[in-house]
A and B are shown apart, each in its own frame.
Chain A
Amino acid sequence: MTEIVATNQTILVVGGGISGMTAALEAAECGKQVVLVEKEASLGGRVSQLYRYFPKLCHPTCGLEINLRRLKSNPRIRVLTLAEVTGLTGKAGDYTATVRVSPRYVNENCTACGACGEAVSSEVANTFNYSLNKTKAAYLPHAMAFPQRYVLDPSIIGTPEADKAKAACKYDAVDLTMQEETLSLKVGAVVWATGWKPYDANRIQPYGYDRFANVITSVEFERLADPHGPTGGKLLRPSDGKEAKNIAFIQCAGSRDENHLRHCSRICCMASLKQTNYVREKGGEDARSTVYYIDIRAIDRFEDFYQKVLADPQVKFVKSKVAKIVEDAKTGDVVLHGVDTEGYHRYANAHDLCVLAVGMEPSVKGMDIPAEIIADSSGFLEINSATAGVFGAGCATNALDVNRAVQGATAAALRAIQVVNRVARAEG
Chain B
Amino acid sequence: MSDLNAQAVAKYRTNFLKEVEERVEEGEWVKMCMQCGVCSGSCPLGPFWAHPPQEIFMMIRAGRRDEVLTSDSMWMCTSCYNCIVRCPRKLPITHIMHGLANYAHRLGLAPKNQPTRVFATMFWNNLIKTGRVNELKLSLGLYFKDGFKQGIQNALNMQKTGLGLMKAKRLNPFELFSGHGCKDRKGIAAMLKKAREIEASRKHFAN
Q: Chain A interface (Cβ within 8 Å of chain B)?
A: 206, 252, 256-260, 294, 319-324, 337-341, 344, 346
Contacts and interface: CB of A to CB of B under 8 A. Distances in A.
B36 interface: yes
B90 A259 contact: yes
A346 B46 contact: yes
Contact of A337 (B41, B51, B55, B90): B41
13 contacts: A258-B88, A259-B85, A320-B36, A321-B38, A321-B88, A322-B38, A323-B40, A323-B41, A323-B42, A338-B38, A339-B46, A340-B37, A341-B54
Contact of B88 (A252, A337, A339, A340): A252
A256 to B, nearest CB: 6
Contact of A344 (B38, B54, B86, B88): B54
Interface of B: 34-38, 40-42, 46-47, 51-52, 54-55, 85-90
Most B C-beta atoms less than 10 A away, residue of A256, A260, A339: A339
Given A252-B88, A294-B34, 13 more contacts: A206-B42, A259-B86, A259-B88, A321-B36, A321-B88, A323-B42, A339-B41, A339-B46, A341-B54, A344-B51, A346-B41, A346-B46, A346-B47
A256 B54 contact: no
Nearest to A255: B88
Given A323-B42, A324-B42, A338 B88 contact: no
Given A344-B52, A346-B46, A346-B47, A338 B86 contact: no
A257 B54 CA distance: 16
Nearest to A340: B37
Contacts of A206: 42, 86
B90 A339 contact: no
Contacts of B35: 294, 341
Given A324-B42, A344-B52, A257 B37 contact: no
Interface SS of A by simple majority: loop
Contact of A339 (B34, B40, B86, B89): B40
Given A206-B42, A344-B54, A321 B37 contact: yes
A319 B34 CA distance: 12
A110 B159 CA distance: 88
Contacts of B37: 319-321, 323, 338-341, 344
Nearest to A348: B41
A45 B85 CA distance: 35
Contacts of B51: 344
B41 A322 contact: yes
A322 B35 CA distance: 12
B90 A344 contact: no
A346 B51 CA distance: 11
Contacts of B90: 258-259
A257 B38 CA distance: 11
Contacts of A321: 36-38, 41, 88
A109 to B, nearest CB: 54
Contacts of A256: 34, 88
Contacts of B85: 259
Nearest to B38: A321
Contacts of B36: 252, 294, 320-321, 341
A206 B40 CA distance: 14
A346 B41 CA distance: 7
Most A C-beta atoms less than 10 A away, residue of B40, B42, B87, B88: B88
Contacts of A324: 41-42
B82 to A, nearest CB: 9
A323 B86 contact: yes
A338 B47 CA distance: 11
Contacts of A340: 37
Q: Which 4 A-B pairs have the closest CB atoms?
A: A323-B41, A338-B41, A321-B36, A257-B88
Nearest to A336: B41
A257 B89 CA distance: 6
Nearest to B90: A258
